[in-house]
Amino acid sequence: MAVPMSDVTDTARDAGIEQVLEYLRDARLFDFTGYKRGTLSRRIGRRMQTVGVADADAYVEYLEVHPDEFEQLFNTILINLSSFFRDPDAWDHLRSDALPAILSAKPGSPLRAWSAGCATGQEPYSIVMLVAEELGADAVKDRLKVYATDLDADALETARQAEYSEREVEGVPPELLEKYFRPVGSRYAFSPDLRRSVIFGRHDLLQDAPISRTDLLLCRNTLMYFNADVQAQLIQRLHFSLADDGFLMLGKVEMLADHDLFRAVDQKHRLFRKVSRSTLRERLLTMAARPGSPPAQVHNNVADIAFELLADAGILVDPDGVVIGVNARARELFGLRRDAVGRLFHDLELSYRPIELRSRLDQVRSERRSVCLEEVPRWTPGGDLTFMDIGIVPLLAGRHLLATAITFSDVTQNRRVRQELEETHRELEVAYEELQSTNEELETTNEELQSTVEELETTNEELQSTNEELETMNEELSSTNEELQAINDELRYRTSEVNEVNAYIESVLGTLDASVIVVDQSMAVRVWNGLSFEMWGLRADEAEGRNVLALDLGFPVDVLGPPIRACLQGEDPGRPFTVDAVSRRGHPIRCIVRTAQLRGAQQSIEGAIVLINEAPPS
């Protein structure tokens, strides 16, 4: 039931504001507890009036029942006001004071900028246009990366589209509008090539690690929504984000709470430059800062000393993969110098040798849980094989990753002792098994001896029987030998007859004054007489076994196909016919061809006979 707006008093909203904020933090992981209470009270109260609830309890119940209300509430709290080149005078000073210093300090090197609280994207695209005017569009595509972050996912989605109405591009100078935008219907789309230089992502300034090593950081009209304690912590985070001598631009209504971290370049237009503080202790304290925590005592270096004197080798890596600490044992064990601090861990040989650590480091950072690698082998420079346990542990403050600690513990001696114990244990087990086996063998030996005597007696009887069988086999072999001798004699007689028949046939074929070709059912040559060689130049061993129609002769063999097939099918091959051919000596001749059937013993057709005579001259 709707409640009149007048019933929702400011006092009731203020009394229940903490309950709503705690629910948003626990249910949706949005922590607004660092925001100014007056602003939050007004904006949450506006939503309570809109949906018609009277107190915080009822509004929390409404959020539980209506998940869509979260989006409306966040849009009310996070007012996304942005425009191109907002406050033009400030951008002019950024162009004249900050940008030349950044470009001169990093000639030809990559440039990194961060737009924190980018809303719908006008600010990061303004940065791209500003740098493009100084370096040119091609250089921007190669060198510039702008990280644009915000809490509002819907605003980020709008920013990614990079399309704006005519009213939204009013702040863009006409020459830049024509140069970097193209009309799309009634809207204007930012240059797709330059759009790739901007990386959008959701980011919570209070909870997520700041983007590191940025040359230019714009956080305009964002700090003003937080209370003084939270602002002080956020200033430390922005200081950590910037590279040495990097530039920070705030909104015109915002001031710096800690002037030791930055020096003013243009106080009126809120342009500041970082004052470097690079000790490990200060970097970690900055990363660990939380709303409501007391200021860090930089001079307290007990943690640095403890880390330096650890018995195990240790390395600290920040969330961006940069080495921020190497203790004495690590420098001694791996030959690292002090200048390893500040380098990317992935660039160190230690990241992949003796074992691949880069993927495991990424796993620990993403999953927020430790990884332990046991007994990793490593060869020392002296040629000794050692083993170490490697632990990769995330250092967390709540959900926030401060750094990742990598420790290396030498377990060579422990491994050696354990291996000796395991070897001794195995030897004892083997000895016990051998004793049991020996006892069993002794027990069975007597039985085996008794069985052997019985087997010898049986073997003697078998040998006598085998001797009788051998005598019988000898007689059978003698008989078989006589039969084989008789068969051999018969075979020699038959072979002699065959040889005589073959000699007779060869004699007959040799005396014929014609080329005689005998083919089988498959038309393969079986007989090729001497005159065939004389006429066509093909020896018998070259012709026999080949298809007669495939022979390469001076004679046109294709004319033999029809009469040979007729013979093989039992038909009349027809009358002799004449064919023009070329002899083996290249002389043209005229041939008379005759074909006849070749019949076997049962009068079955087994092939064909071809007779080729040279025709007498006419």
Two tokens at 477?
């072999």
Q: Which of 32, 30, 65, 39 is nearest to 51 (CA)?
A: 65
293 CB contacts (<8 Å, ≥6 apart)? 233
pLDDT at 291 > cutoff 70: no
230-267 pLDDT per residue, tens? 778 888 888 888 988 899 998 876 777 556 788 888 88
Question: Is the pLDDT score of 284 beyond 80?
Answer: no
For residues 562 and 527, state if they share a domain: yes
Residue-number span of the structural domain to which 226 is assigned: 88-288
Same domain flag for 178 and 260: yes
- Asked if residue 256 and residue 325 are part of one domain, the reply reads no
* DSSP line for 455-502: HHHHHHHHHHHHHHHHHHHHHHHHHHHHHHHHHHHHHHHHHHHHHHHH
Res 268: pLDDT: 83
> How many Å apart are CA 611 and CA 554, to the nearest integer?
16
Rounded-to-integer distance, Cα 179 and Cα 129, Å: 9
Query: Considering 410, 436, 462, which residue would you say is the last residue of a domain?
Result: 410
Report CA-CA distances (Å) from 35 to 21, 74, 226, 590. Answer: 10, 13, 4, 119
488 domain residue, yes or no: no
Whether residue 450 sits in one domain with residue 403: no
Could you give the 3-state DSSP secondary structure of residue 158? helix
Number of domains in the chain: 5
Residue 26 has pLDDT above 80, yes or no: no
- Residue identified by tokens 């191109």 is 84
Of 410, 367, 371, the C-alpha closest to 391 is 371
Percent of the chain predicted with pLDDT > 70 = 86
pLDDT confidence of 373, banded at 50, 70, 90? very high
Q: What CATH code is carried by the domain that includes residue 541? A: 3.30.450.20
Shared domain check, 359 and 416:
no
Q: What backbone phi and psi angles, to 5 degrees, belong to 274?
A: -70, 140
d(CA 209, CA 117): 15
Q: Based on the fold, state whether residues 425 and 365 are members of the same structural domain.
A: no
Q: In this structure, is residue 477 part of a structural domain?
A: no
* 181 has a pLDDT exceeding 90: yes
**Domain shared by 326 and 424, yes or no:** no
Per-residue pLDDT reduced to its tens digit, 457-501: 888 888 988 888 898 898 889 889 989 999 998 999 988 888 887
SS3 content of the chain, % helix, strand, coil (to 5): 50, 20, 30
Name the nearest CA neighbour of 75 among 20, 155, 162: 155
∠ CA 488-490-495, rounded to 5°: 95
